[in-house]
Amino acid sequence: MARNKTAFLYSSKEPTKEQFERIKETIAKRYKIKELKFVFDENIKNGFKLEVDNKLFDWTVEGRLHQLTSKLDLLDSSKKSVMPLMRKVVDDFKLHAVSEEIGTVDSIRDGIAFITGLKSAEYDEILVFDSGVKGLVQDLREDKIGCILFDRDEFVSAGDKAVRTGFIAGMPVGENFIGRVIDSLGNPVDGLGEIEPEQYLPIEKRAPGIIDRQPVNTPLETGILAIDSMFPIGRGQRELIIGDRQTGKTAIALDTIINQKGKDVICIYVSICQKASTVASLVNKLKAFGAMDYTIVINCPASDAAPLEFIAPYAGCTLGEYFMSQGKDVLIVYDDLSKHAVAYRTISLLLGRTPGREAFPGDIFYIHSRLLERSAHLSDELGGGSMTALPIVETQAGDVSAYIPTNVISITDGQIFLESSLFFSGQRPAVNVGISVSRIGGDAQTKAMKKASGTLKLDLAQYREMAAFTQFSGDLDDASKEKLEYGKRLMHILRQKQFSPIPRHRQVIILTTALGGRLKNTADKDIDTYLEAVCCAVEEEAENICSSIDEVGAYSPEIKEEILRIADKTEI
C-alpha cells in the first residue's frame, strides 16, 4: 500500500469507532484519501498526530512545545530560561491543530541531503531533521529538493523526516558581537561565553539600489603609503587584493584594520578555509594593537563542511549591514573568495548541477556579485552609513586572467595586485604599480594627499619601463641614470614594515620631500633615517601644519614650501 495513499493516526489511546470514522470522512473529503490506519505510539501522552499527504497535523502538547522551541532556537540562545514558562503556557491554554509539511530524506552524501515531499519549500529556507541537525535548501526540483547540512552528515540518514521551519537562513547580529570570534552561524568560538544578539537578519539581501546610494568620496586610509598615495580606497568602495600565495595579501588587510583605531570604523574579518593557527595568530596581533576592540572575526576553518564555508562571507556581510544601517562605517575583509568559490563548486557538483569552465557552475559570477554589491555608501535618508569591502583572491603564477580572478576584478572598483618578484626582492608591500588601479581615484583622497602624491604613479611607471628597457644595455646617458636613481628612491620610500601604519600628515611630508628632489644626495642606507628626521622636525617646528593636514586635509604652496624648507636644513 503506497504511503501517500494512506493516512496514519498516531496516539497512545485508540480512538472510538465514531471518532475514527469522522476523521476518515474528513480526510477523504479534503485529500481524496480513503485509507486510514491507526498506529499505537506510547510516546504521545496527550492528543494525537495525523499524517496525511506528506503533512503532519499535531494535536499534542509535546508537538506544539517542540515547534515553539525549535523556532526559538533559531532566533536566540535564551531558550533554557523560558522553557518552564513556555510549558505552563502550553498546558494552560487550549491547543489548535498545527499543520506541518514534512519530508523524507531520500538519500544523503557528503553533507548534501535530497528530500522528497516538501513541495512548498523555499530556496534558502532552514529545515530541521529528526536528529536536530539544520540544513539550508539550495536546490529545487520537481520531485525532490537538495539541502546542504550545517553539521556532520552522519547524524542524518535516509528515511529520516525533515520539517520546514518557515525561516529563511539568517544571522544573529548586535553590538555584543564586537570583539568576539564567531563561526559562520554566529556561535562564539573564543571561549568567552554566549553572545546575546539584538536581531536576527537574513543572510541574503538585495543590494541597495542607485537611489539608496551616494558617491564614494570619503577616504578609508590603510596607513600604507603605496596604497593611500596611488590607489586610494573610499568608504563604500570594493577594492580587490589579488596576488599569488604568500605575497602579503592578508598583511595589507590586517594593517588596514589596525589603522582604523580611533576612526570610528567597525571592522569584520571573514576567514574562509584558513588554518586555525593562522587565525589564532591574527587574533593575537589584533589584540596586541588594540584592534579587537572594534573588530569581529568570523572563523570558518578548513575542517568545516563546505556549506558553512559557503555561507561565511554572507554572514559577515549581514553583520556589516546591521551596523551600516545605523549610520556607522564598516570595513569587511573576505579572506579569501578563491576558497569560497571552491566550496560552492563542491556543493554544486554534489547537487548534480551542470559544470562549466573549470568545473564551476554557471552562477559562480552571481554568488560573488550579489555579495560584493551589498557594500555601499548609503544615502543620507538611510543614515549615511557605509560598508567597504576588501575581498582577497589568490592567483596561480600571477595569472590574473584565470576564471575567478577575472570575475571578481569585473565586480570590484579596482584591484591591488601583489607581485611575487617584488615581494621576494624585498619590495614590501609588493604592489605592482602597472596593474593595480582604483576606479574611485582622487575622489577618495584628501586635498593634501592628492597634491602631495602629484606625479608619483607616473614617475614609477616610467621608472619600471626604463628599468626593463635598460637591463639589456650597458651604456646609459646621464639623464637616464638620473631617472633610474630617482625611481629607485621612490621605490624605497614605498617600502614599509608590517604593523607600522603611517599617519596622514607623515605620508604627506614623505611624499613632499621625495617628490621635491630632497633625496637626490642621500645614500640609500640613510633614506629612512633622513625621512624620519624630517617628519620629526616638521612635527616639532610646524605642529599647526600637521594638525591641519590630519583634520581637514589642508595643503597649499605655503605648506609645501615650509616642509621643503625644514627638509633642506635637516641633517642626519
Over residues 118-132, the pLDDT tens digits come to 888 999 899 999 888
Query: Which residue, among 372, 386, 366, has the nearest Cα to 212 in the 3D structure?
Result: 386
Q: What confidence score (pLDDT) does residue 499 get?
A: 92
Q: What confidence score (pLDDT) does residue 46 get?
A: 72
Residue 230 in contact with residue 453, Cβ under 8 Å?
A: yes
Stretch 32-46: mean pLDDT: 80
Quick one: residue 374, left, alpha or beta (phi over 0 = left, psi -120 to 50 = alpha)? alpha
Stretch 221-236: mean pLDDT: 95
User: Is domain 3-170 in CATH 3.60.150.10, yes or no?
Assistant: no
**What is the grid cell recorded at 394?**
589568490
* CATH architecture of the domain with range 452-569: Up-down Bundle (1.20)
Matching CATH number, 176-444, of 3.40.605.10, 3.20.20.150, 3.40.50.300, 3.40.1030.10: 3.40.50.300
Q: What confidence score (pLDDT) does residue 288 get?
A: 96
**What is the grid cell recorded at 44?**
504521545
Instruction: Specify the amino acid at residue 529.
Output: T
Q: What confidence score (pLDDT) does residue 69 get?
A: 54
Categorize the per-residue pLDDT at 77 as very low, low, confident or very high, splitting at 50, 70 and 90: very low
How confident is the model over 145-196, as pLDDT tens digits? Answer: 999 998 877 888 898 889 988 888 889 999 999 999 999 999 999 999 999 9
Catalytic residue IDs: 439
Domain ranges of the chain: 3-170, 176-444, 452-569
Q: What confidence score (pLDDT) does residue 95 get?
A: 41
**What is the grid cell recorded at 69?**
522551541
Stretch 327-349: mean pLDDT: 95
Quick one: residue 366, left, alpha or beta (phi over 0 = left, psi -120 to 50 = alpha)? alpha
Q: What confidence score (pLDDT) does residue 38 get?
A: 85
Quick one: residue 284, left, alpha or beta (phi over 0 = left, psi -120 to 50 = alpha)? alpha
Q: What confidence score (pLDDT) does residue 213 get?
A: 96
Helical packing angle, 79-92 and 61-75, nearest 10°: 150
In the predicted model, what is the mean pLDDT of the chain? 88
How confident is the model over 473-507, as pLDDT tens digits? Answer: 667 788 888 889 999 999 999 999 999 999 999 99
How confident is the model over 400-432, as pLDDT tens digits? Answer: 999 999 999 999 999 999 999 999 999 999 999
DSSP code of residue 99: E
Check residues 146 and 67 and name the one with the higher pLDDT.
146
CA end-to-end span of the chain: 96
**What is the grid cell recorded at 322?**
546591521
Domain 176-444 identical in fold to domain 452-569: no
Question: Which of 117-126, 279-288, 322-331 is the least confident region?
Answer: 117-126
Q: What is the pTM of this model?
A: 0.83
